[in-house]
Structure 1
Amino acid sequence: MKLVFAGTPAVAVPALEALAARHQIVAVVTRPDAPLGRKRVLTPSPVAEAAERLGLPVIKAARLDAEATEEIAARGAELGVIVAYGGLVREPLLSTPARGWVNLHFSLLPRWRGAAPVQWSIIAGDRETGATVFQLQPGLDDGPIWSMTRTAIAPHETAGTLLGRLALSGAEQLADTVDAIAAGETAPVEQSGEVTLAPKLSIDDARLDFGEPADRVYDRIRGVTPEPGAFTEIDGARLKVHDTAPVRDHPRLEPGVIEARQGEVLVGTATEPLRLISVQPAGKKSMAATDWWRGQNVERMIAR
């Protein structure tokens, strides 16, 4: 089929590559170049760079407005495919391709509808997730489902590593689903089950509460890694927490108390402590927690 593809971040690139190998991509829609780095250099999105490498025409649009709709309509796509574009598809664009739009979403819909499904699934302690290809409708991720795959969430997986894994497996799932739609070999089914929401993460979602049980704190750290990044505060100064591990063989510490025991830096929770592995003090680079602790020259600290 003739496809128009909409996506922006690196997680959408495998899907674009898989579709380009099987179908005709008449346009790639992505968000405009953005300033990156300390020098704020305008940089194309990962999808824009991939499209250029593949020799595909690119439409850069901050919003899918009337102008973008007109330009997309002129390309004559039969089906629109969207993967993490970063904007809403509304009418009349929603009906512009003859077969509408399908969306690759990284959750088991209707669980975790919204912008951050992978992050919230880990924060909530889910042990399973997956990817869903569904027909886009005006509502939030509520369209009928074309295909769904499932995968276990590994105990130490972060949102970043899980999303990277789902991007690769989801790309093949998406390409297979588009093949089946083109051949008329599949039909969508309505969503069923409990609806949960996965809004975009705020910085407050990354603040750690050591008054919670260790497994809840650990899941939150994993869920907000790499972005926005877990943190706590010590004497009013922010300390980012990049990596931790559960421990089962240490005496309990009061919630938020940080101490060094047996060569490990531990922080107390409502249950067993967590071992701090990698941290980043304000204004400094990431470092081993043991190196950070040696520089504090104290017996204990309180994280709040």
Structure 2
Amino acid sequence: MRLLFAGTPAVALPSLDALLASRHEVVAVLTRPDARAGRGRTLTPSPVKERALEADLEVLTPATLKDPEVQARIAAIAPDAAPVVAYGNLVPPAALALPRHGWVNLHFSVLPAWRGAAPVQHAIIAGDEVTGASTFLLEAGLDTGPVLGTLTETIRPLDTSGDLLGRLAGAGSDLLVKTLDALEDGVLTPVPQPTDGVSLAPRLTTEDARVRWQHPAMAVDRRVRGCTPAPGAWTTLPDGARLGLGPVRLVPEVTDLAPGAVRAGRGEVLVGTGTHAVRLGEVRPAGKRAMAAADWARGARLDERTVLGADSGAERGAGA
């Protein structure tokens, strides 16, 4: 089949590479416009655009797919199908109708669970033990289209969202190719999503990544891992400055620290939660690079009165 691949970030690259190596022909790539990045705020192409140019593919970077000229170009390309992986732009009804086999989206959850922009992050934060990936046909609703294929993946105890997303991106690329093979062979029947088991996974904000130390240690651990690497978990120091947090470790034997209270010593930094302590891993003081928590503590003038996140307030802590 002739394919128009739609994707933007690095997580879409395994699928693009798999399709380039498949029996199908990727004739063009659709990706988000160049965005400003880095300290110099220079315009930077998306990872998918860079890979497409390396492969000598036509690249479309419209700000919106509602533009009639963009739709005319897609129609001229005449794709049989448009595989989608983390494209990040809405596909209007007029564009949905252009590929003969539709827009085949690879989504990183087992639908109808975790519809939305951040399914992997929400699965970890919620404490799910198993997640997966789905291929489905895009329609006007948010991730509501009929499912074409699924796979499952165990969420490991130390998984960050980056770890889990990396595994799903690799396994999902194979699922996407097999789905397109089956569509071309006419042996695949789309299955409507059930109405039960629907959950939503909106994009996480910076405030979502704020750690509430009054929550149970397990909830703190899941939130930090779910927000790693993005948007990045954080708390505040007594002076109000932000402290970025890498994954923590549970220390169930330490139960005498109040939520947010810090105990530094013996090469470790412990922080109290609503249940028991956690051990900090890497931390990122404002304006500095990430460092081991013990190294940070030596220069941070911590004492037994130091409390992290004291300004978060228990009244703002709903939704662990």
Q: TM-score range by the shorter chain?
A: over 0.9
Matches within 5 A, 1:242-257: 242-257=246-261
Secondary structure in structure 2 of the residue aligned to 1:92:
helix
1:182 Cα offset (Å): 0.5
Matches within 5 A, 1:44-83: 44-65=45-66, 66-83=68-85
1:43 Cα offset (Å): 1.5
**1:223 aligned onto 2:216:** no
1:298 Cα offset (Å): 3.1
The equivalent residue for 1:292 is 296
Inter-partner Cα distance in structure 1 for 2:154 and 2:175? 16
Q: Counterpart amino acid of 1:260?
A: A
The equivalent residue for 2:94 is 92
**1:205 aligned onto 2:208:** yes
Inter-partner Cα distance in structure 2 for 1:223 and 1:68? 36
Q: Kindly indicate whether the alpha-carbon contact (under 8 Å) linking 1:243 and 1:279 is maintained by their aligned counterparts in 2.
A: no
1:208 Cα offset (Å): 0.5
| Identity %, equivalent residues | 51
1:284 Cα offset (Å): 1.3
**CA-to-aligned-CA distance 1:163-199 (integer Å, 9 cap, x gap):** 1111111001100110011001111111123111000
1:44 Cα offset (Å): 1.2
Q: What is the aligned counterpart of 1:158 among 160, 165, 173?
A: 160
Inter-partner Cα distance in structure 2 for 1:264 and 1:60? 48
**CA-to-aligned-CA distance 1:77-112 (integer Å, 9 cap, x gap):** 111111111111111100011121110000011000
Matches within 5 A, 1:1-304: 1-22=1-22, 23-65=24-66, 66-192=68-194, 193-235=196-238, 236-300=240-304, 301-304=306-309
1:218 Cα offset (Å): 0.4
1:261 Cα offset (Å): 4.6
Secondary structure in structure 1 of the residue aligned to 2:123:
helix
1:297 Cα offset (Å): 2.7
Q: Counterpart amino acid of 1:205?
A: D
Secondary structure in structure 1 of the residue aligned to 2:295:
helix
Moved more, 215-224 or 41-50: 41-50
1:262 Cα offset (Å): 4.1
Q: Kindly indicate whether the alpha-carbon contact (under 8 Å) linking 1:159 and 1:225 is maintained by their aligned counterparts in 2.
A: yes
Secondary structure in structure 2 of the residue aligned to 1:32:
coil
**CA-to-aligned-CA distance 1:90-144 (integer Å, 9 cap, x gap):** 1110001112111000001100000010111111111111000001110010111
1:260 Cα offset (Å): 1.7
Secondary structure in structure 1 of the residue aligned to 2:150:
strand
Inter-partner Cα distance in structure 1 for 2:284 and 2:162? 18
Q: Counterpart amino acid of 1:303?
A: L
Q: Counterpart amino acid of 2:11?
A: V
Unaligned stretches of 5+ in structure 1? Answer: none
Kindly tell me the number of residue pairs found equivalent between the two proteins.
Answer: 304
Question: For the aligned residues, what is the CA RMSD?
Answer: 1.1
Normalised by the size of structure 2, how large is the TM-score? Answer: 0.93
Inter-partner Cα distance in structure 1 for 2:265 and 2:288? 25
Q: Kindly indicate whether the alpha-carbon contact (under 8 Å) linking 1:157 and 1:222 is maintained by their aligned counterparts in 2.
A: yes
Q: Kindly indicate whether the alpha-carbon contact (under 8 Å) linking 2:101 and 2:183 is maintained by their aligned counterparts in 1.
A: no
Inter-partner Cα distance in structure 2 for 1:223 and 1:34? 25
Q: Kindly indicate whether the alpha-carbon contact (under 8 Å) linking 1:114 and 1:141 is maintained by their aligned counterparts in 2.
A: yes
Inter-partner Cα distance in structure 2 for 1:216 and 1:59? 42
Secondary structure in structure 2 of the residue aligned to 1:180:
helix
Unaligned stretches of 5+ in structure 2? Answer: 310-320
Structure with greater proportional strand content: 1
Q: Counterpart amino acid of 1:282?
A: A
* Off by >3 Å, runs of 4+ in structure 1: none
Q: Kindly indicate whether the alpha-carbon contact (under 8 Å) linking 1:27 and 1:72 is maintained by their aligned counterparts in 2.
A: no
1:9 Cα offset (Å): 0.3
Normalised by the size of structure 1, how large is the TM-score? Answer: 0.97
Q: Kindly indicate whether the alpha-carbon contact (under 8 Å) linking 1:221 and 1:242 is maintained by their aligned counterparts in 2.
A: yes
